[in-house]
Structure 1
Amino acid sequence: MAAIDCGTNSIRLLVADLPEPAAGPQAPLTDLSRRMEIVRLGQGVDRTGRLAPEAIERTRAALAGYATEIEKLGAEQVRMCATSASRDASNADEFRDMVRRTLGVAPEVVTGDEEARLSFTGAVRGLPADAAEPYLVVDIGGGSTEFVVGTRTGGVEAAVSMDIGCVRMTERHLAGDPPTAEQVAAARADISAVVDRALAAVPGRDAATLVGLAGSVTTVVAIAQDLPGYDPERIHHARVSYDQVAQVTTDLLAKTSEQRLTIPVMHPGRADVIGAGALVLQVIMERAGMSSVVASEHDILDGIAWSLA
């Protein structure tokens, strides 16, 4: 099976085999291929309400490579889910037509609620035993952040998607390089108000464990661990404290994009927006009263794959 997650900042592919039934309900998928490209599909959407032609073309080029990989590995089922940017854009039909021509299947522009549920499914399978329930799972994307509360056995109890993400907050508030104190304060105020609304909609403050998903979280956790390079095995299920997240966020927001590029774990396509992503994570931890966060490399992409089972 092949799963594709097309978000505001990146497009990702997972080709995997399902575990054998005898392996049990928490057995992992067998990865055949995981790929990620930064395409910035949501470039300017918060301002213009439209997908930029150059962003659609970047996405098409990445998708063409994925189509070749899917065919080579012989995946029998393909599901592509498109999220925040393609929900918000007035010219989303152009994007959907491009996907049909390139991939051979239509993208599903999932609702925020479905995005949250897929993220939760991908994240909670295989969590370590010391990750106490219930969980607050937060998926910090480029255009939106999903907040999901639930348990491993009972599933999702409540979910909400909010329009805060690393690309959207950077474009809206953090124009400076590095951003000014006034810009950071405006971003923090905006994020705090939205997070408070999210936590009024889902009982996140009652959760025992915060699980963080997507590139902003995994990059912050990698920096907090002072890794010499991006290492998914060391990042997956690593737990870092609020104090570590706050220090990394402060350091990132004080650096220029060029200086962030010198950080060993930094993906070049994330350097200009990682400060906003880190700030979203820090504010969530503050407003939810969480002393630590567990990072997961498994997220909506894995949830899409499991949905094909």
Structure 2
Amino acid sequence: MTRRVAAIDCGTNSIRLLVTDVGDGVADELVREMRIVRLGQGVDATGRLDPRAIERTLEATREYAEIIVSLGAERIRFCATSAARDASNAEEFATAVEAILGVRPEILTGAEEARASFIGATGGLGPEGALVVDIGGGSTELVVGRSGAVEWSTSLDVGAVRMTERFLMSDPPTADQVATCRDYVAEVVGDAAAGVAPVATLVGVAGTITTIAAHVLNLPAYDRTLVHGARLPIDDVRAACSSLVEMTVEQRRGLPFMHPGRADVIGGGALVLDAVVTALPLTTSELLVSEHDILDGIALS
């Protein structure tokens, strides 16, 4: 028996919708949408969601509500992550979302976010055991598991938006800004990775990593069918990260695969990914990229 469900992942940088029919697994995907709304704009500095960011996110939610109704989804799950976790006025935002969708948003803990990312990522690719890395706008989740079960996870407060706003203020960022950010992220990720067993399969998910994958692949336009399942040499991944950090925002926007709403923060995310592949005890020389992630995990739940 299948059930039509709508899953919404509301992160620090983007809000995404998946409407799909779910049975034993995600099947017959009907709609997958993304809007860059930057809900987490300034949260790292102020501890509050900006009213303009809230309105951008609510406008996207209204669009999604129309799609959900038109497709006849039986169940809706709206999950918010890092930005909402950190904001003192998250309750105000949640009330506004509930008025639009009729369901109360869930603010996922770091552990819940990690589990959803792992289930979504490994459900599509099916590795026996893997470490999944999910770099978001505000946080990064590292998850180890096998056969759909999470064995270990951690959520780190380093993400593309948070690191850009905190460290990379110039365009392009100065060498000192990059070095300071790199050192900070290396310390945070290094501490987390210290207790991780050797990693034979490394799976990367979410927009920062899929965009870097498109850069490694030198795609003439973003194509999720080419990104999904790509196996990228770690050395090529690190070179792509360095390349993106050194570019101006305008140069990044000129890349044919770059979403314009990601161009100003991809440098911060690239430094996080570089730190992850450097710090983890890898026994593989590849990063396996998945287009399935926390959004798919929310739908399966």
SS in 1 for 2:124: coil
- Across the aligned residues of Structure 1 and Structure 2, the Cα RMSD in angstroms comes to 1.2
Paired amino acid for 2:140: T
Q: CA deviation at 1:266?
A: 0.2
Matches within 5 A, 1:24-103: 28-103=26-101
Distance in 1 (CA, whole Å) between partners of 2:130 and 2:14 is 25
Contact 1:2 1:305 in 2 (8 A): yes
Distance in 2 (CA, whole Å) between partners of 1:126 and 1:164 is 26
Structure 1 length normalisation: TM-score? 0.93
Selected match of 1:209 from 197, 201, 219? 201
2:174 matched to which residue of 1?
180
Distance in 1 (CA, whole Å) between partners of 2:194 and 2:143 is 12
Contact 2:229 2:288 in 1 (8 A): yes
Paired amino acid for 1:190: Y
Paired amino acid for 1:137: V
Q: CA deviation at 1:30?
A: 1.7
Contact 2:77 2:105 in 1 (8 A): yes
Distance in 2 (CA, whole Å) between partners of 1:126 and 1:249 is 26
Matches within 5 A, 1:1-309: 1-19=5-23, 28-127=26-125, 131=127, 133-152=128-147, 155-200=149-194, 203=196, 205-290=197-282, 291-307=285-301
Paired amino acid for 1:186: T
Q: Percentage identity across aligned positions?
A: 57
SS in 1 for 2:53: helix
Contact 2:211 2:257 in 1 (8 A): yes
Contact 2:199 2:281 in 1 (8 A): no
1:24 matched to which residue of 2?
none
Paired amino acid for 1:143: G
Paired amino acid for 1:198: A
What stretches of structure 1 move > 6 A for 4+ residues in a row?
A: none
Paired amino acid for 1:233: T
Contact 1:245 1:278 in 2 (8 A): no
SS in 2 for 1:283: helix
Distance in 1 (CA, whole Å) between partners of 2:18 and 2:174 is 39
SS in 2 for 1:142: coil
Distance in 2 (CA, whole Å) between partners of 1:187 and 1:73 is 44
Distance in 1 (CA, whole Å) between partners of 2:116 and 2:124 is 15
Distance in 2 (CA, whole Å) between partners of 1:118 and 1:286 is 25
Q: CA deviation at 1:144?
A: 0.2
Distance in 2 (CA, whole Å) between partners of 1:253 and 1:147 is 22
SS in 2 for 1:113: helix
Contact 2:117 2:294 in 1 (8 A): yes
Q: What residue ranges of structure 2 are gaps of 5+ in the alignment?
A: none
SS in 2 for 1:125: helix
Q: CA deviation at 1:292?
A: 1.9
Distance in 1 (CA, whole Å) between partners of 2:118 and 2:19 is 19
Q: CA deviation at 1:176?
A: 1.0
Paired amino acid for 2:101: L
Paired amino acid for 2:241: T
Q: CA deviation at 1:28?
A: 4.1
Distance in 1 (CA, whole Å) between partners of 2:96 and 2:239 is 42
Name the stretch that deviates more: 1-10 or 91-100.
91-100
Distance in 2 (CA, whole Å) between partners of 1:149 and 1:49 is 30
Q: CA deviation at 1:247?
A: 1.4
Contact 1:285 1:292 in 2 (8 A): no
